[in-house]
Amino acid sequence: MPAVSRPTEPVSRASTPILAASDDSLLTDVIGERRGGAEKGACRIARRIEESLIVSGWPYGAVCGSEQALAERFGAGRAVIREAVRILAVRGTARMVRGPRGGLQVLALDSRHTAAFLVGFGLFFGVTPVQLDETEAALDRVRLDLDALHLPGPEGTSRFAAVFAFFEDVVRAVRQAVSDGGSVRSSVLLTPEHLRHSRAGQIAERMLLECTAEEWARGRRLGSEEDLCFRYGADRDAFRQAVRILESAGAAETFCGRGHGLVSQAPREGTLARLVSCFFASGGVQAHIVMQVFERLSVGVIAMAASRASAEDCERVSQTLAKLEDSLERQDAVASLPHVFDAEEAIASVIANPLLQLFTKSLRGYPSARIPRDPALLDVMNRRFLTLSRPLLEALRNNNAQDAARAQKARVQGLARLSAVMPALASG
């Protein structure tokens, strides 16, 4: 897979990008990572570091600080920082460099490494050749539509080329893996070679091999920390780093108390959508370029959903919008956010294509990284979302793909215009 070319030189290792210590953008909400229970400290720190680097333009080559400096910045122990760093290293976004001038170094993301996560996700959820054809056709329609705009990018190529090249390579890699009939037991997160560079990664790989993908998704109790350390001959630090690797992908959760322990679960889209955002930022892809791809792809996805929507599907969407309306009446903008994205996911789930749903969420997430999480502004956006979603629900009920496409186009464009002025309003 060709890497996305970076238009600027690496930042000097002497420079230190500012890492936010608080959640202040919509990215986490848009990709669904703020839902689903408590977030472990190491997972939260790794997420915040990646989000900060996305917003700062991905200054690869820069050093963000020593282990001690990061511990002080995030108010965490050094063991937790080491767990966070292990997560980042496995994802390929940053690594710890030792020595007097060392620290957490920002990496330029490798396309093959990044794509392997998405390939593993598609294989885990059993993407079929028909779904791959559907995804490929949807991307082709959007690419042809955008190519007709004649907007040249670097060296005369389309400015959208990097986005499509990445997704199309993922589709080809999944198709090849499906045709080869390979086992996906070790691909819950990524291919095994990304785990074998560290003791923690090796332990995570062994845990992934404990059961089939189907058993893993159903939720299998893998064991307590004490039992698993003994089983794998691991010390507690290495074992906890392995667990955080799994938890950061949403592929496992630790439950405290007698008779509990580490339990497997199906990996979440959100952590992968954030990794795609990191990849776009690393390649210098502009947010408005991604937004144009999202707008057109989402229109196609919504039209597809309208042609397939059942009465039960429409009722599920209606219920999420009703919950959104109720929370808005209580004037709680932050509490309304989950209902906004529950509605989005209820619609997207109608197409029953996990890879296409992941692509759409990834495209939707990246432009949101610079939108402030301001309650007053969010209230305006949430109310606008509700108004623009009602015609879409009606089109779904009528199974009218054309009306649904028009409603989605109006909704995306209306929200995009509003989000474009939100940062300025917040700073004003």
pLDDT digits (tens, 9 = 90+) for 85-128: 999 999 999 999 988 778 999 999 999 989 988 998 998 888 99
DSSP state, 25?
B
Instruction: Give the separation between CA 91 and CA 127, rounded to whole angstroms.
Output: 22
Question: Of the given ranges (89-103, 106-120, 198-212, 227-241), which has the lowest mean pLDDT?
Answer: 198-212
Phi/psi region, residue 260 (left: phi>0; alpha: psi -120 to 50; beta: rest), is: beta
Question: Of the given ranges (9-18, 132-141, 386-395), which has the lowest mean pLDDT?
Answer: 9-18
Q: Please report the pLDDT score of residue 23 as a whole number.
A: 59
| Mean pLDDT, residues 377-403 taken together | 94
Residue with tokens 């997207």: 348
Task: Output the pTM of the full model.
Answer: 0.90
Domain residue spans in the chain? Answer: 286-427
* Architecture (CATH level 2) of domain 286-427: Up-down Bundle (1.20)
Helix residue ranges, H only, 60-158: 67-74, 78-91, 111-124, 129-147
What proportions of the chain, in percent to the nearest 5, are helix, strand and coil?
Answer: 65, 5, 30
